[in-house]
């Protein structure tokens, strides 16, 4: 059975499987999945603050030379402190199929983003299972990084100039793009054709702000997550969902009546791993690990494992852009 088929089969048993207990100590998520929000109230207008600008949002901190061995981490560094704690703490999604979602067969959170967490854990500990996942909403990402409750966020997070004013990003690890998902048979194939329609996007995301900017005639409906949007879509409370193509591909895999029509992406969504703005050494370390993965075929292997079936053959991994200074 294909991965998409397995996902649909998993959805059929979703209620039972959601109750499966977590396994293991470090590599499991102790936080319950966020509940799908029932509210479809019309959204309030967002703050009118102008978005921040920057020269190059993709510019990150260059690695400090070759990646050090786990037993040779710089004393006093953020990586050494994580190693001393005994686990890497990462904020992730557990309901974004193919990127970060709970496997209905073993209860573990898996996907492209989770494999990146494993790669960083392996670089710090020499053991890819020395990590702890915290399931968070999109709106939780920046506050939890700022408070230091998580070491990094691997949750299909778009690198933006605005976010650089609050947190730090790794180099780009995946290039996605925002599209729409509609009901099978719908005549709408572009965002511009959704004027007057109810379109859902998670609150606190760039998808929601882009929806309001590019389709002001559409009725924007907020939810806590894309899974919440899918619930509203299946209940007939919204007509479409918008988000990154990777996310929409995962939603369509769960619902045979949903489809991502052929369309051009109307945004470029470069994903980065989010980290605390003060942890520049960790950013440099993660960038060295990502550079290693681009060069040794690990990146392509992860892509093939999760995304090749719905999105086609692996493209070249995004090139890193460095030059940012603290």
Please state the pTM of the whole predicted model.
Answer: 0.77
- Mean pLDDT for all residues in the chain: 86
Strands 109-110 and 59-60: unpaired
Q: Is the pLDDT reported for residue 138 higher than 50? A: yes
* Contacts of 15 by beta carbon, 8 Å cutoff, 6+ apart: none
Q: How far apart are CA 182 and CA 194, in angstroms?
A: 10
pLDDT digits (tens, 9 = 90+) for 216-272: 999 999 998 888 999 999 999 999 999 998 889 889 888 999 999 888 899 998 999
Supply the pLDDT for residue 5.
Answer: 52
pLDDT digits (tens, 9 = 90+) for 262-297: 888 999 989 999 999 999 999 999 999 999 999 999
Q: Is the pLDDT reported for residue 131 higher than 90? A: yes
Region 58-86: what's the mean pLDDT?
97
* Contacts of 192 by beta carbon, 8 Å cutoff, 6+ apart: 215
Edge-to-edge strands, sheet with 240-244: 219-223, 198-202, 240-244, 178-183, 258-259
Helix (H, G, I), strand (E, B) or coil at 143: helix
Residues written for the chain: 326
pLDDT digits (tens, 9 = 90+) for 82-126: 999 999 999 999 988 889 999 989 999 999 999 999 999 999 999
Supply the pLDDT for residue 95.
Answer: 83
- 17 vs 80: which has the higher pLDDT: 80
């Amino acid at each position: 059975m294909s991965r998409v088929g397995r996902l649909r089969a998993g959805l059929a048993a979703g209620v039972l499987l959601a109750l499966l207990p977590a396994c293991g100590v470090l590599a499991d998520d102790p936080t319950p999945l966020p509940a799908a929000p029932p509210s479809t109230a019309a959204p309030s207008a967002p703050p009118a603050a102008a978005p921040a600008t920057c020269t190059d949002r993709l510019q990150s901190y260059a690695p400090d030379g070759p990646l050090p061995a786990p037993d040779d981490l710089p004393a006093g560094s953020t990586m050494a402190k994580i190693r001393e704690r005994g686990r890497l703490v990462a904020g992730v999604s557990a309901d974004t199929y193919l990127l970060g979602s709970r496997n209905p067969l073993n209860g573990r959170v898996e996907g492209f983003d989770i494999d990146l967490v494993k790669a960083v854990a392996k670089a710090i500990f020499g053991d890819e299972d020395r990590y702890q996942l915290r399931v968070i909403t999109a709106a939780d990402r920046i506050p939890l990084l700022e408070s230091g409750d998580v070491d990094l966020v691997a949750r299909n997070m778009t690198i933006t100039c605005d976010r650089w004013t609050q947190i730090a990003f790794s180099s780009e690890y995946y290039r996605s793009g925002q599209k729409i998902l509609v009901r099978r048979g719908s005549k709408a194939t572009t965002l511009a054709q959704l004027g007057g329609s109810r379109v859902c996007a998670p609150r606190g995301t760039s998808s929601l702000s882009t929806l309001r900017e590019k389709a002001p005639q559409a009725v924007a409906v907020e939810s806590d997550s894309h899974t919440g949007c899918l619930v509203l879509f299946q209940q007939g409370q919204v007509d479409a969902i918008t988000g990154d193509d990777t996310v929409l591909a995962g939603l369509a895999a769960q619902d045979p009546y949903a489809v991502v029509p052929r369309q051009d992406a109307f945004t470029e969504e470069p994903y980065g791993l989010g980290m605390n703005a003060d942890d520049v050494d960790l950013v440099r370390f993660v960038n060295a690990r990502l550079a290693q993965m681009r060069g040794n075929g690990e990146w392509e292997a992860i892509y093939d494992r999760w995304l090749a079936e719905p999105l086609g053959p692996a493209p070249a991994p995004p090139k890193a852009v460095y030059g940012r200074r603290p």
